Amino acid sequence: MRVAMIGTGYVGLVSGACFADFGHEVTCVDKDKSKIDALERGVMPIFEPGLDALVASNVRAGRLKFTTELKPAVAEADAVFIAVGTPSRRGDGHADLSYVYDAAREIGAAVKGFTVIVTKSTVPVGTGDEVERIVAETRPDCECAVVSNPEFLREGAAIQDFKHPDRIVVGTDKPRAREVMTELYRPLYLNRSPILFTDRRTAELIKYAANAFLATKITFINEIADLAEKVGADVQEIARGIGLDNRIGSKFLHAGPGYGGSCFPKDTLALLKTGQDHEAPLRIVEAVVSVNDMRKRAMARKVSNALHGEVRGKTVALLGLTFKPNTDDMREAPSIPIITALQDMGAKVRAYDPEGMEQAKAYVSGVTFCKDAYDCAQGASALVIVTEWEQFRALDFARLKSTMERPVLVDLRNVYQADEVARHGFAYESVGRPRQN
């Protein structure tokens, strides 16, 4: 089938490349000429493991193209995906749908013959109705069906998630559109991936409900971690004990500095606004957002406590800046409020991240960026693991101790065991576990 993917951000580029790998003919469209030029040279705008090779192989095969020209790509397509950004609108937290609606107008003016228009972007309930209205207004004679097909891609594992999904959600009540979507995802039948067909509004809400629930699991275990510290319990054993219950499950029960990234923060806010607009307040989600916001900055106090409050003038070294490993995404990363809080306390901050340092420069200032973990630790009074990159899972503690001013490790991801670190002469602070000196 012929596919036009509007937007070459994270979702659009990964989805377009994977559809091409299924054998479809895909044209990715973006207004940013510099991004399109870079993609044609094989330069990826994001870091995602395996994406560069996937794009290159499908470009060579002639199944994947990039362009700034929307009209010809849409005119030839059987399905047009809207995969543009929906950031939080400044001031009120609503999802900014201006890019979605602009795309809908351009698509409506360009379509020829029956076309399925698919909202792949994360959008609030009712957005599909508005897209349908815009398209009909732009092109009254348009033979189009507007479908919701939310994405469930984890950054760092997006290709795996696309090709081996837990489920594929498609929101449409049009039989012809259902046929097109079934054919698009037909290669996944070999993996027995279930396709859940619903009405469009239900599909839109499934995405927000899923992200809000996962954010709730993270926030719940973080609050249990705080209690565990107070009473001398171990949150990792608690998580294992409750996660063995198959009604709960073990995923997203890892205590840490709070959730971040491009999805959970903005999607929980947008869901809250939707609830308020429809007089159905979501009190649990409200608490999740509030607790998570406070938690990130509170991690700087954990560093301060590890140094007995002696932070001013000290150097603190941060390992990991991105909101999770295997991505260069700095959006809403816990490292940002941690850095600003430490700087407010008078600390000097050094940092190292395998992929995110260039992006971090747009979010923080006054930070010394380093070439590796050991360079980062030079002269530091505390070393803080903020993101659990694999490179930080087997640190040479003797080498670290020889270069640090004080042997203090603050492990915000519980990568290490306390007794292991203590054997190397380090004071150790973790999350939700008894403190070791």
Share of the chain above pLDDT 90, in %: 94
Residue 200 and residue 129: Cα distance in Å, rounded? 8
In this predicted model, what pLDDT tens digit does every residue of 154-179 receive, in sequence order? Answer: 999 999 999 999 999 999 999 999 99
**Residue 37 confidence (pLDDT):** 96
Each domain of the chain, given as residue ranges in start order, spans 2-198, 208-289, 295-429
**Residue 114 confidence (pLDDT):** 96
Task: For residue 62, name the pLDDT band (cuts at 50, 70, 90).
Answer: very high
For 233-241, what is the mean pLDDT? Answer: 97
Average pLDDT of the chain to the nearest whole number: 96
**Residue 63 confidence (pLDDT):** 98
In this predicted model, what pLDDT tens digit does every residue of 251-310 receive, in sequence order? Answer: 999 999 999 998 999 999 999 999 999 999 999 999 999 999 999 989 999 999 999 999
Share of the chain above pLDDT 70, in %: 99
Task: With a cut of 70, say whether residue 437 has pLDDT above it.
Answer: no
18 is catalytic: no
Do 157 and 184 meet the contact criterion of CB atoms below 8 Å apart? no
Residue 160 and residue 252: Cα distance in Å, rounded? 18
**Residue 195 confidence (pLDDT):** 93
| C-alpha count within 13 angstroms, C-beta hemisphere, residue 47 | 15
Distances (CA, A) of 371 to 127, 354, 387, 396, 433: 45, 9, 16, 16, 31
CATH class, range 208-289: mainly alpha
Task: For residue 409, name the pLDDT band (cuts at 50, 70, 90).
Answer: very high
Structure tokens at 99: 């890019």
**Domain 2-198: CATH architecture, name and number where available:** 3-Layer(aba) Sandwich (3.40)
> What does pTM read for this prediction?
0.93
Nearest to 305 by CA among 420, 414, 436, 429: 429
**Residue 54 confidence (pLDDT):** 98
In this predicted model, what pLDDT tens digit does every residue of 82-135 receive, in sequence order? Answer: 999 999 887 677 899 999 999 999 999 999 999 999 999 999 999 999 999 999
**Residue 436 confidence (pLDDT):** 60
In this predicted model, what pLDDT tens digit does every residue of 173-230 receive, in sequence order? Answer: 999 999 999 999 999 977 777 899 999 999 999 999 999 999 999 999 999 999 999 9
What's at 4, amino acid-wise? Answer: A
Same topology for domains 2-198 and 295-429, yes or no? yes
For 241-257, what is the mean pLDDT? Answer: 97
Strand order in the sheet with 367-369: 367-369, 348-352, 315-319, 382-385, 408-411, 427-429
- Catalytic member of 18, 263, 370, 376: 263
**Residue 375 confidence (pLDDT):** 98
Residue 62 and residue 156: Cα distance in Å, rounded? 26
CATH code of the region 295-429: 3.40.50.720
In this predicted model, what pLDDT tens digit does every residue of 346-365 receive, in sequence order? Answer: 999 999 999 999 999 999 99
